Amino acid sequence: MKPLLFCPVFLASLASATTVTSRPWGEIDGTSVTLYTLKNQSGASVSISNYGGTVTSIIVPDKNGKMADVALGFDTLAEYREKSPYFGCITGRYANRIAKGKFKLAGTEFTLATNNDPNHLHGGDQGFDKRIWNATVKDSELVLNYTSPDGEEGYPGTLKTTVTYRWTEKNALHINYEASTDKPTVINLTNHSYFNLVGEGADTILDHQLQINATQYNPIDPTSIPTGIAPVKDTPFDFTKPTAIGSRIGVENTQLKNGLGYDHNFVLKTSDDGKLMKAAILTEPKSGRTLTVSTTEPGIQFYCGNFLDNLPGKGGKIYKYRSGLCLEAQTFPDSPNQKEFPSPVLRPGETYRQTTIYQLGVSR
C-alpha cells in the first residue's frame, strides 16, 4: 500500500495536555511506516516510528529555554534501515549478547544468529528493531504491538509484545513493556537511544557527568561476554558519585580495553518488589540539561559510542567517535547461560513487565 501524501493527523484526546500527531514515513515491502510525534504544552516533544519502535528525536529545553534535539538519529526511514547502529530502537527478543548464539532451555539447545561474531546481539539479523509494529493511539499514549512467531530468529515460543510510550508535561518519556508466550522462552527488551545533552551532532559526550546507582558491574571478556560480577570500587567503573565520563576512560585497564571504552552492564541497587528505582543521572554542565533514568530492571548498560566513526546523521551532521551514549535498562547480558544472573526465562501463563523512564530536565 502506497503511503499517503504528508498530512499530520491530530490523534490525541482533547482532554489530554499531550498531543499526538502522525505522518507517513515511507514504506517497506508495500507496508506503510508512520512517524508519531508526542508534544506537551511547553513545546517539548518526542518522535517515535512504528518501524522498530524507534525514538527518532527528543526535543527539550536547556537551562536558558533553548530547544534542541538530544537524540542521535537520521532524517529518513531509508537511513535507519541501511546504516543505523540501533539508534533509538526497541532491541529484542533479547537485547545485548548471548555467547556464541546458543542457550539451553528445559534441556533443549537453541541456536541463534551470530551477528556480532562470535556472539548473538540484539535479537539477531532481523530483531525487533527491524520489524514494523502495529500502532494505535490511546488517549495521549502510543501503543505498539508485535507478535514474534515461534522460531523467529531461532527463539522458541510465539511471543506477543506490547510497548507503550507516554510523554509528560515534565518532559519524561515513560516506556512500558509487556509480553506473553505460549512456550518457555527468553526475553530481554530495552530502548537503545543515543543521547548527547548538548544536542545531537555535538562533538563529544566525554564532558557529561554520570552517576550510576551501582556498586557492582559485569566485567567482560574480549568478545564482550560477562565473566561474572565485580565491585566498581577503585576502578574506572565507579560512578557512584557524579563523574566526568572522559576523566578515566584513557587509563590503562583491561576492562576498558575489552570494551573499547565503556560498554558494560552495571548491577543496579534495585528494590526487591520490582518498583521503579533511580538507575542513573546524566548532566551536561554547559547546557544544564539532565537525564535521569529510572527502571524496574536489574541492570543498565552504559555504552559511550565507541563505534561511532564520523557517521552522517540528521541534517548532514557528523556523529563523531564518542559523540553519543546509551543507558539501556535490561537484565544482564548472556543471562540465559549464566545461572547466577537474574533469570530471563518467560513461561506460559506469566507476563513479562518492565518500565523505564527517561526524565529530561535542567540543573541551574
CB 174 within 8 A of CB 295: no
Helix (H, G, I), strand (E, B) or coil at 160: strand
User: CA–CA distance from 326 to each of 86, 147, 262, 303, 313 (Å)?
Assistant: 10, 26, 10, 5, 16
Helices of type H across 184-337: 254-259
- CB count within 10 Å of CB 166 equals 19
Contacts 24+ apart (CB under 8 A), 56-63: 56/80, 56/87, 56/88, 57/314, 58/173, 58/193, 58/195, 58/358, 58/360, 60/171, 60/289, 60/360, 61/362, 62/287, 62/288, 62/289, 62/362, 63/287, 63/288, 63/289, 63/362, 63/363, 63/364
- CB count within 10 Å of CB 321 equals 16
Grid cell 532481523 is found at 126
- Cα–Cα distance measured from residue 82 to residue 130, given in angstroms and rounded to the nearest whole number: 11
What residues does 191 pair with on adjacent strands?
Answer: 90
257 exposure class (CB count in 10 Å sphere: 0-12, 13-18, 19+) = exposed
- Cα–Cα distance measured from residue 67 to residue 58, given in angstroms and rounded to the nearest whole number: 10
Q: Which of 192, 200, 208, 284 is catalytic?
A: 192
CA count, 13 A, side-chain hemisphere, 142: 30
Active site residue 192: yes
CB 304 within 8 A of CB 284: no
One-letter amino acid identity for 4?
L
Report, as residue numbers or ranges, the catalytic residues.
Answer: 192, 328
